[in-house]
Structure 1
Amino acid sequence: MTIFLSLLLIFGHAQQGTYELNVTVENIKEPKGQLIIAIFNSKEDFLEKPFKSQTVAVSQNSENIKFTDLPQGHYSVSIIYDENKNGELDKNFFGIPTEGFGFSKKSMGAFGPPSYNDTKIKMDSDEAITIPLKYM
């Protein structure tokens, strides 16, 4: 019985699987500062509470970031090009970003960031996406 339960747990985990997401960030205007890459797995947490995140030092005009062990599901990716390394997207007096940013599916909001639904990608296999940074 113990062997049967163990096999059932192993088989169940293999069925669900985890996947890898490779994110290529392009259009980095100067190789300085850092990228803050956040992955969100729900509309409620979008842009507030990342499921996973990484901060990567910028050394070239294009960077590759790998996320592993992502369960099957939908995810949205946001990127901040934090040139001054203060840990946030700087904005001017009018609330317009003064640093680069980007979202999965190359989405842009009309007046503010795009929605979770406009940026989400389905993970049911390993994926590779490219996000070019935008500047205002």
Structure 2
Amino acid sequence: MFKSQLINVVFAAALLGLTATAAHAETASLTVVCDNLKPQGKVMIAIYDSQAGYDGDKAVSYAMADVTSSQAKVTVELAPGEYGLKMFHDIDGDGRMGMNPFGMPTEPFAFSNNAKGNMGPATWDAARFTVTAPETTQNIAF
């Protein structure tokens, strides 16, 4: 019995080592610079790594930045790859995008690549971009 416990401990330690190695895989910095903002509230950013995630609103990460001037900036660490961003300026600070009774946004919003939507969000093809090491920057005009 002791031998099987020892094997389990060795296996668990090896697995943890592999997990730690995977966690230290190459990362890249993504800096999002948002311009033309009213100096109040926060910019809320959802980060997607696939068309399915983007279209299904299943973000792999989120970021937010306080807006104290006409520009806000936030940096996140990501694995290199393709990403798309959906963001809005939460002017009233309630953590939700303001909507009118017809479902139209009442707070400013934007997408990566400054892509524009047509009766809905910008498409994944218009919004996607590549994050490469060491750093990638997205400049977004609200």
Task: Tell me if both proteins adopt one fold, taking TM over 0.5 as the criterion.
Answer: yes
Q: CA deviation at 1:58?
A: 1.3
**Residues 29-78 of structure 1: per-residue CA shift (max 9 Å, x gap):** x211111012110112216221111222211110111011x112100112
Instruction: Tell me which of 98, 116, 122 is aligned to 2:124.
Output: 116
Q: Which residue of 1 aligns with 2:49?
A: 41
Q: 2:57 and 2:121 mapped to 1: Cα distance?
A: 12
Q: 2:117 and 2:91 mapped to 1: Cα distance?
A: 22
The answer as to whether partners of 2:66 and 2:72 remain within 8 angstroms in 1 is no
Q: Which moved more, 1:41-50 or 1:110-119?
A: 41-50
Paired positions, count = 119
- Percent identity between matched residues is 26
Q: Which residue of 1 aligns with 2:80?
A: 72
TM-score by length of 2: 0.76
Aligned-residue CA RMSD (Å): 1.8
Higher Rg of the two aligned structures: 2
Find the residue that maps to 1:22 and give its secondary structure: strand
Find the residue that maps to 1:130 and give its secondary structure: strand
Q: 1:63 and 1:78 mapped to 2: Cα distance?
A: 15
Q: Which residue of 2 aligns with 1:92?
A: 100
Q: 1:71 and 1:114 mapped to 2: Cα distance?
A: 23
Amino acid at match of 1:65: V
Amino acid at match of 2:32: V
Find the residue that maps to 1:105 and give its secondary structure: helix
Q: 2:130 and 2:82 mapped to 1: Cα distance?
A: 4
Q: Which residue of 2 aligns with 1:57?
A: 66
Task: Show structure 1 runs of 5+ residues with no match.
Answer: 1-8
Amino acid at match of 1:112: G
Q: Which has the higher helix share?
A: 2
TM-score by length of 1: 0.79
Q: 1:130 and 1:71 mapped to 2: Cα distance?
A: 20
Q: 1:122 and 1:56 mapped to 2: Cα distance?
A: 22
**Residues 84-114 of structure 1: per-residue CA shift (max 9 Å, x gap):** 1121211212222110111111101111111
Task: Show structure 2 runs of 5+ residues with no match.
Answer: 1-17
Q: Which runs of 4+ in 1 moved over 2 A?
A: none
Q: CA deviation at 1:18?
A: 1.3
